[in-house]
Amino acid sequence: MSSRWFPRGAVASPHHLASSAGARVLASGGNAVDAAVAANLVLAVVTPYHCGVGGDLLAIVHDGAATGVLSVGAMPGGATPTALRRAIEAGHGSVVRLPGTDGMPTFGALPVTVPGAVAGWAHLLDRWGSRSFGDVASAAVALAEDGFPVSSHAQVHVDRARPVLAEQPGWETTYGVMRAGRRFVQPELARTLRIVAEDGPDAVYRGPIGERIVEVLQAHGSTMTAADLADHGVEEVAPLRGRFRDRTVLELPAPTQGVTALTALGILDRCAPRPADDTDREAGRAWHDEVEAVRLALRDRQHHLGDPRAMRTTEAALLDPSRLDALHGEIGDRAAPIELVRPSPGGTAYLCAGDADGLVVSLIQSNFVGFGSGVVVPSYGFGLHDRGAHLRLEGPPDEPNVVAPGIRPMHTLIPGMTVTDEDAPDLVFGTMGGDGQAQIHAQLLRRWIDAGQDLQTGIDAPRFTVDVGDGSVAVESRAPRAVTDGLRERGHEVRDIGPFEHLSGHAHALRVTADGYEGGSDPRCEGAVTGW
């Protein structure tokens, strides 16, 4: 399949209902930010296993210049290692742990950080939007109130979550009732969206919704307070800039892993271009270079990345050309020994939108792991994320991603964009996938820029993901045998996975052209690209 073309505007997202809602906003005179928020709100209703009201939000908006938006929450002010250990000893927090997190629970109240999504939506609309929150939320409210048929794709996520989340407060009665083929109705979530439309984000950060957030979290061991919620703020930041071939690549700064993607691309910029065809005799070498580049970049992430206040180096230093030269020099003809690091799973929704005036937005929103913590806010019908699960309870003095009061965990979330030498937007792209996000950014840009592939062709193509926990390389089974054999011959441990594997990411993209927008959406999800 090839890219779709839209003359006046387009939206791409991981669910067709969300893309359709965004396209309707565009067609009725709304702009790209209005459309993106509308689509995101629908995703909060129809894909609660990826994102929602209780998650975080990050974006890059280009309105003639690029601006990064970070609405990422912090750990509570009382979240010390001692306080968390006492809560764990008292029986709070799940017994499930992410590898390498030194006892930090993955689920339950303890890994919940302040949710940033509502503040992020409000900021985007106040700064760039032309419609009210109530207007852009109308499709989401209707779907929450009237319901929608649960798909077999969604049922897989519910079934995967049930063994670890069924005992968390509110999860089973809110989400455990989802059944494929049956209509799923969420009246409490519809009410929540109406309250936010009426009262604004203060309903969450200083009002009744926030009171219930604090109540349910404290009842299950968290130190979250009303003051923690009220302290949340949205940051506007300058995106990081890196170079790949003739494009400038924009990624967000820490605490995101944007520098990880730029490091991988900086290394690959020093490698031979990827061939257009994966059956080419040089394709095995190209895949090897990509695997090695992302391994080196993920090693940097482990050692250096976290809350900027806790980092011991700068992203400029990590991206220094001489340093990238040295990293490139570490790539040989064989797989290098990999330093195993802490995995970060994905539970995320990426979307992008562009309008007739050239305003474009690259947006990502997440619960972190699937449905997040499993804790559902009573009477308001939404789950809370578990971003703090990626923190360590203890670590060495130079470890930037260790539990501390008010610290923001490292984020795998990275909306991407490329711009021309004139700083005009070119590609607007991103993906879900946890550790895979930076890896997939690198693979997509190599396909689109080096190989000259169509957007949809590049998205459809087989992918790999390096498992940072064991060093193996998971490769979709559609990859040519010559590629997987070539990787194994070079010393890589290759795992064959499904042909369109969920954990290989859900990527979506727009290309800005003189005639409108080209768009592509990932076949690994229920997504669509649409517009007018």
Instruction: State the catalytic residues.
Output: 348
Residue 104 and residue 96: Cα distance in Å, rounded? 9
Is residue 526 within 8 A of residue 156, CB to CB? The reply is no
Task: State the burial class of residue 404 (Cβ atoms within 10 Å of its Cβ: 0-12, 13-18, 19+).
Answer: middle
24: closest CA among 353, 364, 351, 348? 353
Is residue 375 within 8 A of residue 220, CB to CB? The reply is yes
Look at the block and give the residue holding tokens 């499930």.
96
- Cβ-Cβ contacts under 8 Å for 23 (sequence gap 6 or more): 9, 10, 11, 35, 530, 531, 532
Other C-beta atoms lying within 10 Å of the C-beta of residue 67: 15
- For 165, the enclosing helix (H) or strand (E) is helix 152-165
Two structure tokens written together for 182: 């049956």
Beta-sheet pairing, 528-531 with 516-521:
unpaired
SS3 assignment, position 8: coil
- Cβ-Cβ contacts under 8 Å for 167 (sequence gap 6 or more): none
142: closest CA among 278, 324, 17? 17
Task: State the burial class of residue 223 (Cβ atoms within 10 Å of its Cβ: 0-12, 13-18, 19+).
Answer: buried
Residue 431 and residue 40: Cα distance in Å, rounded? 14
Two structure tokens written together for 29: 């005179």
* Beta-sheet strands, E only, within 9-155: 10-13, 56-62, 66-71, 148-149
11: closest CA among 121, 21, 2? 21
- Cβ-Cβ contacts under 8 Å for 502 (sequence gap 6 or more): 156, 524, 525
Residue 431 and residue 51: Cα distance in Å, rounded? 13
Is residue 350 within 8 A of residue 57, CB to CB? The reply is no
Is residue 265 within 8 A of residue 244, CB to CB? The reply is yes
- For 54, the enclosing helix (H) or strand (E) is none
Other C-beta atoms lying within 10 Å of the C-beta of residue 228: 26
- For 512, the enclosing helix (H) or strand (E) is strand 507-513
Is residue 508 within 8 A of residue 430, CB to CB? The reply is yes
